[in-house]
Amino acid sequence: MTFLLAGGGGILSFNTGFAIWILISMIVFLLVMMKYAVPPIMKSLNEREAKIKDSLESAEQALAKAEQVSKDNEKALREAEAKAQQIRKKAKEEADMLREDLIAKAKEDASQIVEQARASIEQEKKQALTELREEVAHLAIKAASTILDSELDTKKNSKLVDNFIDDLSKN
């Protein structure tokens, strides 16, 4: 406590002249700072603030644009899905119609083939009957000429007919 009361150069001693010079130099320093240092600092701070505001505004605009693009993409996706659904529906309908047309044509072709087969069978049957008649007539003429060539004996005729029948069964 003696240091406080003593006028000597202690740590806590107060010198009025020195305090006045510090006050004057502080005021000069503040005036110089206000005149030369503060305006450029304030200018750069204002510019930085403007840049930040511009960046924020452009970010907000970009965000709004991105949201709009996202909405447009969603709308385009919904439209594409609807169009794809319509295309699938149309393709299915066309496939069903094509299948029905093919089935109808196949049935028609099958009935024509069956009809042609019946006509062919009928024609071949008639041809076979005609050939059979011709063969029977030829055989009858041959048999008659063989009978006429031999004597008109009943036993011989029966024997000739039997031999002729045996020959036919062999051929």
Show me where the domains of the chain are located.
15-170
19 Cβ contact list (under 8 Å, min separation 6): none
pLDDT of residue 1: 39
How much is the pLDDT for 147? 67
For 139, the token pair is 């055989």
Residue listed under structure tokens 């993409």: 73
Residue 2: predicted pLDDT? 44
pLDDT at site 149: 67
CA atoms of 53 and 45, how far apart (whole Å): 12
C-alpha 142: how far from chain center: 81
List, for the chain, all residue ranges whose pLDDT scores fall below the cut of 50: 1-6
Q: Does the pTM exceed 0.85?
A: no
37: phi then psi, degrees, rounded to nearest 5: -95, -40
For residues 111 and 80, give the distance between their C-alpha atoms in angstroms, rounded to a whole number. Answer: 46
What CA–CA distance (Å, rounded) separates 163 from 157? 10
